[in-house]
Amino acid sequence: MYMKADPDEAWEKLRASRANPPGKAGGGARRKTYAAALEQAEQMFRAATVVGPATRPLQVFYGLSQAGRAIAAAAVDLKGEDWRLDGHGIKASGFDKPFADIEIRTDPATSRASFVRLSQLLDSPVWGKDPVRLEDVWDMLPVNLDYPLTDRNRHPALYTNDVSIHGDPHPLLHVPVCDIPDWVIDNGSRETVNAFFAKYPGLAQHHEYVRRIPRPDGPPDFTRYDHGGGELRVSWLMPQGHALVEERREHLYSLTRSHGRSRWFLPAIPPTGREPHLLMAWWSVVYTLSMLARYEPAGWAGLISVDSNHHAVPVERLLKRAIDFLPGLIVATVEEVSG
């Protein structure tokens, strides 16, 4: 895993920001909402650390929901009363289906509800009545890389970094794309790699990748990991031709989403052709778990039974990671919208 988390440090930063709130949260009702919502968010997350999985998704989701109100209050792009959020804006159904096949829908783009308004603010898609399966969003969270819900071919979040971006001006951005699943590598064909990359808006724009044989029909030259999966070095043409290091780095950032200090290629939400902001991917999963726990308590109790359900440990782990990683993502999102 290429991520680190320090939730206490993140909450300290958020608490410190309340004395001089960022962006549009500097005064009036927006300042009051920013401070009160962050206080509630922190208390919800703190409460989540001392309860078990039977109720943990409720505290985590409502903590995230209140943090969303603080994000909206600080957002410079939300004018007038647009920062006020009304309702959830997201729905989960199909709790009688297998866990991975639970369906997630959103309100239409005209809604003022939290999920829709924040998605628009963060350039993240909403998909209305077209259902998205829980498994599809689950696999977008980097913390779930080692915990698939089924044995279907996965399209997980793919890690990259800018370490190799250096040197003189160059017409290509060239970086590693990591955590490519075994089913792609085992097949090994150009057709499979290209079809896999086509699911990722950032990767679909690629120019070339390293091949075992240096010719156009040569197979991709994967580097396999001992623990499974692997990586492939991929390149993109820079729009302006020869580009400086910082220009190439900025282009990489435009192709990926951030989670803490890490960059990730995400697959598109199936009905939209667009990848989500990672805060909204987390929101979709945590919301769904909270609704299952709240409205289907018997089903939830069965799901989290480590003695009888193989999903229990992945769900427990996801909720623990939510407590660890979401505070830092909230900090980064506040900075993103208030700058």
Give the DSSP letter string of 118-170.
HHHHTT----TTS-EEHHHHHTTSGGGTT--SSSSPP---EEE-STT--SS-B
Mean pLDDT score, 308-322: 97
At 79-127, the pLDDT tens digits run: 999 999 999 999 999 999 999 999 999 999 999 999 999 999 999 999 9
Residue with token string 């991709």: 220
pLDDT value at residue 1:
46
Hey, is 12 helix, strand or coil? helix
Average pLDDT, the chain: 95
Mean pLDDT score, 279-300: 98
- Quickly state the pLDDT bin for 3 (edges 50, 70, 90): low
At 152-198, the pLDDT tens digits run: 999 999 999 999 899 999 999 999 999 999 999 999 999 999 999 99
Q: What percent of the chain has pLDDT over 70?
A: 99
What is the rounded distance in angstroms from the CA atom of residue 289 to the CA atom of residue 58? 8
* Cβ atoms of 83 and 337 closer than 8 Å: no
At 169-181, the pLDDT tens digits run: 999 999 999 999 9
Write out the two tokens for 218: 């040569």
5 pLDDT more than 90 = no
pLDDT value at residue 2:
56
Write out the two tokens for 260: 């803490």
